[in-house]
Each structure stands twice: as structure tokens, then as C-alpha cells.
Amino acid sequence: MLQHIEVVGFRGIRRLSLDCTYSLALIGENAWGKSSLFDAISLVFNSQQQLYKFRLADFHTSPDTEQASSRISLVFTLKERFAGQYQKARYRAISPLWIGGSKSCKRIYFQLEASINDSGQVITERRFLNSRGQVINLDSPNAFAKQLISFFPALRFSQDNAFLSETDVTLNHSLREQSEQLINKLCQRVSQTSQPLLKSELTQSFNALEFLFEQYLSPRFAHLAQQSGPRKVRDMGLKPVSFRAIENLSELLKSGHSRHTKAALLVMLGAYLRARGPNLLRRGCSPIFLLEEPESRLHPINLLTSWSLFEQLPVQKIVATNSADLLATFPLSQVTRLVRRGDNLSAFKVEEQDYSSDEFRRIAFHVRINRPASLLARCWLMVEGETEFWLLTELARVCGLSFAGEGIRIVEFAQCGVKPLLKVANDMGIEWHLLTDGDEAGKKYANHAKSFVSGEMLSERLTLLPAHDMEHFLYHHGFDGVFIKQAKLKSKDALKLGPSKVIERAISRLSKPRLALAIAEDVETRGEEAIPLLLRRMLHRLAAQARGQAG
């Protein structure tokens, strides 16, 4: 499997170091370099087994200086799935490439470099390295490169090949090729028209589907399928959405599953055939599936139905997605967030061993299930409850800021606890700011935040209200009239009762969230200057933090 990628100076990427897992979700805004990364993998490990030669257009150009780089370097680290896998007879052709000790999993380090000579020609070099980065002396590195590519072909499922050109309808006596042609034609129709397939066409396609799975998909994958054991508490928190394991996809075709499930299998196989192209894959190879935004043409329900089938294929899958629903099906440790700041690209992920099972459970429920889009945000504003959510959203709007447009998400931490949220925000490279009350609990939350701040001003990360809670803070900063009005009191009676009693009475008549909206309504009338300076500064600081992640 592909374990690590180092990219230097290739197309839209100046430099990137990316760890890969067997199933990996990549998230980030449009300009993070997804196309360049997938180009690097799919061009080098193409299913046609052709050695890619770099071109002038492949050299990275800095958006600031408009200067093209003079060198490209791609280093791919491939690793055994289990110790001793390299000893299988099928890998004999690449046996000199494996590096590592006898007890640990062995690796292959494959490097491609490009430079421009004095004549302006692009020179492409391929070499294999040892664990110290030194070149392994081989008689024909290019021949070994072709062998390696045939064992690890990358199949790219993208928008570019989502629509088929006219299929070649030349008669072929191979039942496999006839079945492939039929599925290609029907998938083409499905993608280009809203008209449903006829019942006879569905029957034909399902028969072809079953034949192809039986002939060369199921046999290849059957020996890799593993029966899923019972889910443990840690697994439930790490991966909150899970599907029932399907040990043999061909059995699914024969069973009484719905037509929709079989249709999803049909579309999945059609996508596979398009990504693979006309050439059959090498027997016993380990394909790398690259999926670009699979959610782009699918309703969330259809997306998860299709993914539940795709997930069962025992091949490495690297998925670039902006679907919060799809992200919930990945273990959090297999989600990588990519952030571009200027010409620098950084990859962020959580390390599973740094979190307890209880922390994963809290994050799963409060973020991944109830606020799934939060992982896609640029910045989190962490607040105690619903009151702050309604109030600050409206105050930001009065200040000319749109939380949604700026990529700011309000995350309530009262039920989850602030520490797990701070940990995951830091590890995933999400900017954050904590707003707390001035009571003892709020000071405790503030102390948690201080432990996550290093090398920057505390005010950039923390706003501690100089009052017992938000209601008392607002009462003493120009909104006492709103509380008195909502409490149905006269001013002289309010003076006798004192702020706490007035606030308590106003809340009992409305509720905290409804009172927050009444204050927001008052701000609408009075304008931005009515917003306390402390909150105004915090809101503009949040916007600056979020814009810093915009690339």
C-alpha cells in the first residue's frame, strides 16, 4: 500500500509531506492542491504501465513571484500490508526493491526527479532509495519502475471521467468484454439522462454485473476479505457511522437486496471500468483507488449507500471530499485536513494514541454527528450554550460579518467539555477562540485553553467575560433596558431588585435564547456601536483568524 508521499515543485504544490492510510479522507478548500496530488499519483502509477515523463507545465510556479521551480521531486513510500507479504511469488520481480528488517514490514522508496537542461529539455530520472535516502544501484531502474507500477496501479474516479464518450459497439466474442460494454453503455445513459432504465435493461445489466464480479473481481478480493468482529467502545467513538460488513459482493447480487442496492453496485462497477480503462489489471495487484468528490452527483442517502459497497472493496482508497456525511464513516485518525497559506501547504491529522476512548466518544457525538460540517470550517468559536449561538451570530451580522461565509462555526462545549474540542481543533489545524463566563466554571475552561496556547497572545485565543455570565455582562454594558422591559418592570422597581433579580425575572418570562434574540433586535435598532467593545474586538479577531486560512 502507499504509505507516504513527498511532493516538491509539482504543479500546484510547492511542498507537501502526506502520510497515507489504507482508507484516507482528504478535506480542504478548493485551492489546497487536490488535483495536483491526484495527478502525481495517477500519472506515475497509471494503469497503462507507462513511464511518465515530466513536462515544462509540471513545474510549480509561485503565485507570489510567478517564478517556476527548477526541480520536481516525487518520493513514494510503499509498505507491506503485513510482514512477509513481499515473499509471495508474485512479488519476485521487484524483490531487490524491498527495504527493511526481518521483523518489521518492508518498504519500497520510489523517487522521480525532473530538471531542465541547458537546452531547455525536461529530464526525468527514476530511482529507488534505501532507508537512508541513498540510491540503490540497479541495472535497469526503469524496468523495475514498470514492474512496480503494474503491482500498484492507481485508478482515478473523477469528474473528468464521469461522462462517457460514445462506447465502441464493435461486436466482441468475449463475454467479459460484452458485459463491460453493456455496463458502460447503461452507465453512460444513467449519467446523461433522467429517464429510468427499462426493466429488461436492468435485468441484463444485473446479469452482466454478477458475471463480472464472479469472473475477476470477487476472486481477486475474496482472499483478502476479513470477517468483521464485534465493534468495541473505542471503535464506536473513532468511527461513529459504520456499515454491516459484506464479505462477498457477489453474494449480495444473488440475495434479495433491493433494486436500489444493485443499481448502486452497477454504477460502482461502471465507474471502476472507466477508471481502469481498456487494460486488465495485473493478477494479484494492489490497486489504489483515488476518488474525487464522490458526493458531487449523489444525494446524501445514495452517497452513503454507494460508499457502504465501495468501502468493502479491500483496496487502498484515497478520497478527496467535502461531504460531512461521508467523513463520519471514516475513523477520525484517517481524516487529513490540508490547509494552504500562501504558497505553503500543510497537512493536519489526529494521532489515535493521543486520545482516550471517552474523548473519541464525545467528539463523535458533539462534532462528527451533530455538527459534522465543523471539521470543514476554518475557525471554531467555542461557547457554552445556545444563548451565545443566537446572540453572536446576529451581532456578527450587524458588524458586517457572516459566520457561514467566513468559515466560522460556533461549537457549544458545555455538554462535550472544552478539552477534547481544543485537542481536535489544534491537531486538525482549525483556528479557534474560546468565549467563557467569568464564574468559577468559566475560569476552569479558560485554564484549559491556556494550556493549548503557546507562542502567541492569550487574547488571540481566549475571551473571559468580566462578569458572572453573558446576561450580567450585557446588563452592565448598555442592555439593562432590554432586561427591564422583558421582565415587565419599571425602572425604579428594577433598581430596588438589583441586576440579578431583574435578569432572573426576564429569563423566567422568556428563556435565555429568546432573551438573546431580544438583545440582538435592540442592536439592530441602535447599530454596531451598541455592541460592547470586548465582543466587537472578538468578532473581528475571529474573522481575521478565519481569513488567514483562506489561502
Q: Which of 144, 57, 66 is nearest to 108 (CA)?
A: 144
Least confident residue range of 11-15, 292-296, 427-431, 432-436 = 292-296
Grid cell, residue 486, equals 422583558
**How do the domains of the chain map onto residue ranges?**
377-547
The pLDDT of residue 169 is 34
Grid cell, residue 140, equals 535497469
3-state SS assignment for residue 114: strand
Q: Compute the distance between CA of residue 247 and CA of residue 228 in angstroms, rounded to an integer.
A: 9
Q: Compute the distance between CA of residue 65 and CA of residue 376 in angstroms, rounded to an integer.
A: 30
pLDDT exceeds cutoff 60 at 217: no
The pLDDT of residue 301 is 82
Cβ neighbours, 10 Å, residue 161: 15
Q: Which of 476, 478, 484, 486 is nearest to 525 (CA)?
A: 478
Pairing of the two strands 335-341 and 23-27: parallel
Instruction: Render pLDDT for 182-197 as a digit per residue (tens, 0 to 9).
Output: 777 767 666 655 556 6
Place of cell 453572536: 392
pTM for the full predicted model: 0.85
> Residue 459: pLDDT band by 50, 70, 90 thresholds?
confident
Cα–Cα distances in angstroms (integers) from residue 301 to residues 260, 293, 298, 305, in the given order = 11, 15, 8, 6
Secondary structure (DSSP) of 6-68: EEEEETTEEEEEEE--SEEEEE--GGGSHHHHHHHHHHHT-TT-PPP---GGGB-B-TTT-PB
Asked if residue 9 lies in contact with residue 59, where contact means CB atoms within 8 angstroms, the answer is yes
> Residue 17: pLDDT band by 50, 70, 90 thresholds?
very high
Grid cell, residue 15, equals 511542498
Grid cell, residue 318, equals 484515497
What is the arithmetic mean of pLDDT over 376-400? 94
pLDDT exceeds cutoff 70 at 405: yes
Q: Under 8 Å CB-to-CB from 536, ≥6 apart: which residues?
A: 399, 528
Q: Which of 41, 7, 35, 1 is nearest to 21 (CA)?
A: 1
Beta bridge partners, 291, equal 157, 319
